[in-house]
Amino acid sequence: MMLKTVEWKNNSVIMIDQTKLPNTLEYVTYTDYNQVADAIRTLVVRGAPAIGISGAFGLALAVLQSNAIEKKELIDYLEKAKNILFETRPTAVNLVWGLEKIMQVANQASTVQEIKTNVVETAKKMAEEDIKINMTMGKIGSELLDDNDTIMTHCNAGALATAGYGTALGVIRATKDNGKNIKVIATETRPVQQGSRLTVFELKHDGIDVSLIPDTAVGYTMANRLVNKIIVGADRILRTGHVYNKIGTYQLAIMAKQHNLPFYVAAPLSTFDMKNNPEDVIIEQRKASEVTGIGDKKTAPDGINVINPAFDMTPPELISGIITENGIAKPPYQESIKKLFEAKK
């Protein structure tokens, strides 16, 4: 059975608490948009598409929480909620996409009741569409993988990073469903270990052959030809093909180039930022304790300075292709990405 990371049920948002994995599969229920904002901030829910859906669900809760009588009053309340939700993870463009889509629906409605109905229904539809998009993307991307391939992936771009099925792991799932024999090598993904805690958990859950490596063994694995291709997800992709993903992705791409291995990115069109340039993108900096300890155990001395960026940027010249629900973008990316969006219309 496919894991459902986030869903709407009985006017509540239900999420898998990903901070408890892999030890406990626990679901949490939220009825307040502030709770959803905190869940995004503390990584109860993470992964660009899942964050986008969670932001939309957060505004759906906000619209139900409001006691507004007039449209303007309700819109003002939603704007306040939108700003609180946005500030939780500024790098993930899907969050902006989810919030803006809901605000557009709210502004187009005429009455308070119409706003409430339309916002909730739109958020639910966005979650359903996300799963369909991931399945389409998986089918398209599976054509790039061969029988008996071993694929390396970084962080978690699976069902746990989306409303369901996954982006990079969706490609792997579709490949397996097509009858191809496939193996996966997952990096642990320090410092929060999304690879070891989440990717390995869900691939094992689905019966897919997976091996775990420390982040420091990526070069060894590639040099010894233990992997054929690399597929990762993305938190933001610029129109130029610059990809922002979990810290460490850039290193994988450089080593893949060194060892002549294809490096693919899988992400829906909602992850693309068609306005900003690389110098405009804010890289989220996370707390030092993620690096100086594991759980309650300290692994570094007190008072040490820590640099802990959540994401890095991989330049387009290191990327073999970007897999989307509308096809695969290839270099030159500015042209091919533009064509994917034209095909969407």
Catalytic residue, from 235, 273, 296, 302: name it: 235
Tally Cβ neighbours within 10 Å of residue 278.
11
Q: Please give the tally of structural domains in the chain.
A: 2
Give the separation between CA 61 and CA 256, rounded to whole angstroms: 43
* 212-263: pLDDT as tens digits: 999 999 999 999 999 999 999 999 999 999 999 999 999 999 999 999 999 9
Question: Which pLDDT score is estimated for 294?
Answer: 86
Tell me the pTM: 0.92
Q: Are residues 92 and 147 in the same domain?
A: no
Q: Are residues 273 and 287 in the same domain?
A: yes
* 25-59: pLDDT as tens digits: 999 999 999 999 999 999 999 999 999 999 999 99
Catalytic residue status for 209: no
Question: Which pLDDT score is estimated for 39?
Answer: 97
pLDDT surpassing 80 at residue 93 = yes
Question: Which pLDDT score is estimated for 343?
Answer: 84
Q: Are residues 168 and 114 in the same domain?
A: no
Give the separation between CA 316 and CA 211, rounded to whole angstroms: 28
Q: What is the CATH number of the domain that holds 228?
A: 3.40.50.10470
**231-to-133, 187, 317 alpha-carbon distances in Å:** 17, 12, 16
- The pLDDT > 90 percentage for the chain reads 95
Q: Are residues 107 and 205 in the same domain?
A: no
Q: Are residues 176 and 84 in the same domain?
A: no
Q: Is 190 helix (H, G, I), strand (E, B) or coil?
A: coil
Question: Which pLDDT score is estimated for 91?
Answer: 84
CB 270 within 8 A of CB 97: yes
CB 123 within 8 A of CB 79: no
Q: Is residue 1 a part of any domain in this protein?
A: no
* 265-295: pLDDT as tens digits: 999 999 999 999 999 999 999 999 999 998 8
Q: Are residues 188 and 307 in the same domain?
A: yes
Hunting for tokens 């405009």 — which residue is that? 280
Among 135, 164, 180, give the residue marking a domain's end.
135
Give the separation between CA 138 and CA 174, rounded to whole angstroms: 5
Per-residue pLDDT, averaged over 297-311, amounts to 95
Q: Is residue 290 a part of any domain in this protein?
A: yes
Q: What is the CATH number of the domain that holds 26?
A: 1.20.120.420
Q: What is the rounded (10 degree) CA torsion for 267, 123, 43, 28?
A: -140
Q: Is residue 197 a part of any domain in this protein?
A: yes
Q: Is 138 helix (H, G, I), strand (E, B) or coil?
A: helix
What the block records as the tokens of 114 is 């119409």
* 162-184: pLDDT as tens digits: 998 999 999 999 999 999 999 99
Q: If residue 8 lies in a helix (H) or strand (E), which one and from where to where? A: strand 6-9
Q: What is the DSSP letter of 282?
A: P
